[in-house]
Amino acid sequence: MTRYRSFVALGDSFTEGLNDPGADGRFRGWADRVAERLAVLEPGFRYANLAVRGKLIDQIVADQVPEAVGMRPDLISFCAGGNDLLRPGSDPDRMAKKVAAAVRDLRATGADVLMFTGVDPRDTPIMRRARGKFATYYLHLRSIADLCGCRMVDMWSMQGLRDWRAWSDDRLHMNEDGHRMVAARVLDVLGVPGDEDWRKVWPPRERVNLSAKSREDAQWLREHFGPWIGRRLRGTSSGDDVMAKRPELTVFDEQAGDPRQL
């Protein structure tokens, strides 16, 4: 088993931890959960999370990648592209070229690099129309991981994430259950023993009332999708005024869930 002494997480809302609330009022998420486990195994373990919701590939590459390179941790997670793919006219081939250059820079530090495919969007009414574009991008990421010697976390194959019980009301961000599953998958990919299995099997659901389902869809359009479209039209992002929750590589206190600066 590889022993990691430091971990830096890069990305957007997925890595920031939306919508998995922690006891301290900040979002927790899969990356914090992985850090907690690694801290148990390695005294003095250090952790930084530079991810900010709403960020695009260009922003992550320009702002977060150089920070991670300078920190020179043992382990770096890099997940980007979800927000780009949701925008009209996005090109998965061009996106992949940007990711490849960033990953090469991260690997040049000697760190192990974690990469991620996204979840299969076939069960999402709007995003499933662009399923081919998503699949093309994720295949590029697998190729980059193979060529650069990265560890790949394949969420496309995680059937438990296809159940809406793993997602929050906005249908874009995982809830606590979803983040727990991803954390378990990451630990499995790293070869680190954990307490949970990512192969979650949900109990059968009651038959859905079509009238209630229509009301839920209308509420989602009004409360979540509508505001998201509005931000796109205004050229704003949910992360415009948000700072990284753990911007420094600090010693992680696994009991308190907070880092302590060196």
Whether the CA torsion 89, 93, 95, 97 is positive or negative: it is negative
Predicted structure pTM score: 0.90
Residue 104 included in any domain:
yes
Q: Is the pLDDT of residue 52 over 80?
A: yes
Residues 171 and 230 in one domain: no
Residues with Cβ within 8 Å of 53's Cβ and at least 6 positions away in sequence, in order, are 12, 13, 16, 18, 237, 238, 239, 242
Residues 196 and 214 in one domain: no
Cis peptide before 19 (omega within 30 of 0): yes
Residues 27 and 152 in one domain: yes
Q: Is the pLDDT of residue 180 over 80?
A: yes
For position 172, what pLDDT does the model report?
Answer: 86
Range of the domain at 217: 209-239
Residues 123 and 46 in one domain: yes
Rounded to the nearest integer, the mean pLDDT of the chain is 89
| Whole-angstrom distance, CA of residue 195 vs CA of residue 131 | 33
pLDDT tens digits, one per residue of 241-259 = 789 999 999 999 754 444 4
Kindly report which listed range (149-153, 167-171, 197-201) carries the lowest average pLDDT score.
167-171
Kindly report which listed range (11-25, 153-167, 179-193, 205-219) carries the lowest average pLDDT score.
205-219
pLDDT tens digits, one per residue of 67-87 = 999 999 999 999 999 999 988
